[in-house]
Amino acid sequence: MKSIQTICYRIVNFIWELFHVCGVIFGQGFNSLRLHHVNPLPHDVTLQLLKEYLAKQSDRLKPSSLGHRIRFIRSLFRFAYEETYLTSNPSLKLREPKMDKRIPKFLIEEDVINLKISCLSLRERAILEFLYSTGCRVGEVQKINIEDLNWENCSAIVNGKGSKQREVYFTTECKVWLKKYLVNRQDSCKALFVTDKHPTRRMAIPTIRWESKRLANRGKIGVNVYPHRFRHTYACQLLDNGAPLDFIQGMLGHEKASTTQIYAQLRGECRRELYRRYF
């Protein structure tokens, strides 16, 4: 039986080679790498090579996408170094690009009403109501089980980032649609939201995203609709109703207050969006 070290070492090399197969790393293929006498293995990579690669990528990637790329590279090399597959970590001095603070995109009330009207199934309406009234991340919604709901308090326990649990609340309207959906189900799956096709299983995140987009197309909503946009809308409504930022931080499950601060810009943006829509 192969040792754990051998398996891990192969995983490191496999992940690294995926970059080359996809034609992403260094922006070159295997042939051009060989011409430059670069063997596509982790221990051949230097800080200078990584900087050259990222400099090329910065011409075509947004700062956020470049940041994701840098975090992946750092994670890969940190793992390889800590597990002694490398004698040094060339990615230590890589820094993520500074990103402009973008105002989160939200839905106005008219959009939400049109989305509700566009629902053709109990599941569609139940998911929409839950996303809209809890402000949960799509991954939190996907993982929630029926037993996590407290019907009396109209609340649910969700597992957020870093496996941190928090209590979220949903409206009475959401409760009505959740119960209608669950009563209509004929399966024993513990997941709150499940697939329509048999065998019944927990809905996948891409399916929830696709369902949001389908609702938007059906309702002829003039903006891009995705699960996280409901989260921004939730925060915007709390702000408009006078909720303090520290309360919103707790409800959204933000670890850092600075993450929630960006929503402070939404007060004026909500008014501007309504003006543009109706004037």
14-60 per-position pLDDT tens digit? 555 555 544 444 444 444 434 444 454 666 778 888 888 788 777 77
Q: Which amino acid is at 233?
A: T
Confidence (pLDDT) at 123: 97
Catalytic residue status for 71 = no
Catalytic pick from 161, 201, 267, 277?
161
Catalytic pick from 263, 267, 271, 278?
263
User: What is the C-alpha to C-alpha distance for residues 177 and 112, in angstroms, rounded to an integer?
Assistant: 15
Residue ranges in the chain whose pLDDT is less than 50:
1-2, 4-5, 7, 21-38, 40, 279
217-238 per-position pLDDT tens digit? 999 998 999 999 999 999 988 9
Catalytic residue status for 231 = yes
Confidence (pLDDT) at 105: 85
Catalytic pick from 123, 229, 231, 232?
231
Residue count of the chain: 279
Catalytic pick from 69, 123, 232, 254?
254
Domain-by-domain residue ranges, the chain? Answer: 4-82, 109-278
Catalytic residue status for 271 = no
Catalytic residue status for 34 = no
Catalytic residue status for 161 = yes
Catalytic pick from 125, 137, 229, 232?
137
Catalytic residue status for 43 = no
Give the predicted TM-score (pTM) of the model: 0.68
Q: Which CATH class is domain 109-278?
A: mainly alpha
Confidence (pLDDT) at 1: 43
